[in-house]
């Protein structure tokens, strides 16, 4: 991979800037005032439920869609007006696109190499993505995972400064998924900025330097994965089956506890370390034994569900 260059706008560290982005389809807003900035050389994740406006937003970044309102800049370029310059520095993996059915992997790699002034070595890319054994296979005969890996190779073939990956590892098995994550980290380490749209919390947590959580066309939260988890109220989850029932009054009085719920005699409490200590004292005071006690830190999954659920009310 190419080392990072600093050809971007010297006044700013942000290589992607999105401000007040709006886009409606048939009067229904898909993107409703999205704003974020991506620093050069980071992996920036966009996370959100279906229909949150993730794909529409990255399509505006790619220049495939014209925003109704707002400003989008990639390396200082307007994705619509400066299309020619943008396509030379942008690598794209689209969520739903295919290649010609009878085009072989090798032909696809050679063809897309010819589109760029200084392409990467496609053999090396094929090697890194594990599709060397499929070079003579036609696109239509590839498995979902192999197609996906070919698309990642095509996104990187022009030595882009920015790569946009929409649903990066959908269709990959766990092994290939982990290999792909490693590859994306290497790409980032070589100075390329990565904008990643994903469904997988684990992927976002593992890979992203920062994450924007989208909900109903807006940014519900923007932070590092650790920051998002910290922010979510139920940071620590405590679950146990008490030897005899506890009073609601005792439970609602617990410090820093956000929620508790009972199911089949099992009690689950969301809170912090302070909550955990208070629960232990409470149990001791009432001489209650906690069977199958489990204390876990909440994951990005929990933070995500909380952030996106809040917005529904």
Partner 1 sequence: MPASTAVLKAELRLFLREPFTLFWIIAFPTILLTILGLIPSFRDPDPGLGGDRVIDLYVPVTVLLAMIMAGIQALPPVLSGYRERGILRRMSTTPVRPGSLLAAQIVLHFAAALGSALLVIAVGRLAFDVALPGDLPGYLLALLLGALSALALGAVVSAVTPTTKATTVVGSIVFFPMMFVAGVWAPVQSMPGLLRHIVEYFPFGAASQALNQAAGGNWPDWTYLGVTAAWAAVLVAAAVRWFRWE
The CB-of-184 to partner 1 minimum distance in angstroms stands at 18
Q: Which residue number, 27 or 84, has a Cβ lying nearer to partner 1?
A: 84
Residues 6+ apart with CB under 8 A from 134: 105, 142, 146, 150
Q: Point out which span in 15-23, 32-40, 103-111, 168-176 binds partner 1 (CB under 8 A).
A: 103-111
Burial class from Cβ neighbours inside 10 Å (0-12, 13-18, 19+) for residue 207 reads buried
Q: Is 99 in the site for partner 1 (CB under 8 A)?
A: yes
Among 110, 202, 250, 301, binds partner 1 (CB under 8 A): 110
Q: Is 250 in the site for partner 1 (CB under 8 A)?
A: no
Q: Which residue number, 105 or 221, has a Cβ lying nearer to partner 1?
A: 105
Residues 6+ apart with CB under 8 A from 127: none
Q: Encoding tokens for residue 298?
A: 């909440």
The CB-of-123 to partner 1 minimum distance in angstroms stands at 17
Site string for partner 1, 197-236 (x = CB under 8 A): ----------------------------------------
DSSP code, position 140: G
Q: Which residue number, 106 or 266, has a Cβ lying nearer to partner 1?
A: 106
Q: Hunting for tokens 């290589």 — which residue is that?
A: 15
Q: Is 87 in the site for partner 1 (CB under 8 A)?
A: yes
Q: Is 64 in the site for partner 1 (CB under 8 A)?
A: yes
Q: Strands 162-166 and 193-198: what pairing?
A: parallel
How far is the C-alpha of 99 from the C-alpha of 109, rounded, in Å? 11
Q: Which residue number, 64 or 293, has a Cβ lying nearer to partner 1?
A: 64
Q: Is 90 in the site for partner 1 (CB under 8 A)?
A: yes
Among 96, 118, 252, 292, binds partner 1 (CB under 8 A): 96
Q: Point out which span in 1-9, 87-95, 123-131, 192-200 binds partner 1 (CB under 8 A).
A: 87-95
Within 13 Å of residue 110, how many CA atoms lie on the same side as its CB? 7
Beta bridge partners of 38: 16
> Is 45 within 8 Å of 196 (Cβ atoms)?
yes
The CB-of-115 to partner 1 minimum distance in angstroms stands at 4
The CB-of-134 to partner 1 minimum distance in angstroms stands at 17
Helix residue ranges, H only, 129-236: 144-156, 174-189, 201-207, 225-231
Q: Which residue number, 87 or 232, has a Cβ lying nearer to partner 1?
A: 87
Length of the chain: 313
| Ramachandran category for residue 27: left, alpha or beta (phi over 0 → left; psi -120 to 50 → alpha) | left
Q: What are phi and psi of 117, to 5 degrees?
A: -65, -40
Q: Is 127 in the site for partner 1 (CB under 8 A)?
A: no
Q: Is 2 in the site for partner 1 (CB under 8 A)?
A: no
Question: How many whole angstroms from its chain centre is CA 84?
Answer: 27
Q: Is 167 in the site for partner 1 (CB under 8 A)?
A: no
Q: Which parts of this chain interact with partner 1 (CB under 8 A)?
A: 62-64, 84, 87-88, 90, 92, 94, 96-100, 102-103, 107, 110-112, 114-117, 154, 158
């Amino acid at each position: 991979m190419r080392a990072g260059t600093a050809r971007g706008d010297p006044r700013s560290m942000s290589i992607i800037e999105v401000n007040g982005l709006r886009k409606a389809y048939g009067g229904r807003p898909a993107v409703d005032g999205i704003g974020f900035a991506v620093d050069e050389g980071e992996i920036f994740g966009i996370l959100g439920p279906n229909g949150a406006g993730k794909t529409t937003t990255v399509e505006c970044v790619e220049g495939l869609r014209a925003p109704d309102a707002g400003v989008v800049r990639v390396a200082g370029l307007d994705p619509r007006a400066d299309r020619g310059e943008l396509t030379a520095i942008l690598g794209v993996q689209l969520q739903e696109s295919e290649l010609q059915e009878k085009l072989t992997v090798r032909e696809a790699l050679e063809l897309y190499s010819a589109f760029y002034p200084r392409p990467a070595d496609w053999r090396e890319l094929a090697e890194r993505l594990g599709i060397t054994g499929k070079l003579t296979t036609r696109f239509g005969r590839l498995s979902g995972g192999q197609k996906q890996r070919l698309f990642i190779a095509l996104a990187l073939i022009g030595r882009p400064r920015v790569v946009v990956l929409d649903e990066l590892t959908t269709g990959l098995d766990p092994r290939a998924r982990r290999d792909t994550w490693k590859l994306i980290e290497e790409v980032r380490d070589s100075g390329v900025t990565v904008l990643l749209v994903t469904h997988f919390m684990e992927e976002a947590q593992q890979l992203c330097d920062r994450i924007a959580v989208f909900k109903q066309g807006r940014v519900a939260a923007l932070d590092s994965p650790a920051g998002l988890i910290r922010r979510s109220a139920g940071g620590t989850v405590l679950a146990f089956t008490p030897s005899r029932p506890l009073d609601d009054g005792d439970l609602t009085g617990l410090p820093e506890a956000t929620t508790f719920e009972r199911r089949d005699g099992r009690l689950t409490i969301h809170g912090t370390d302070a909550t955990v200590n208070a629960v232990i004292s409470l149990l001791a005071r009432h001489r209650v034994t906690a069977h199958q006690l489990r204390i876990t830190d909440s994951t990005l999954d929990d933070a995500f569900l909380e952030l996106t659920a809040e917005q529904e009310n």
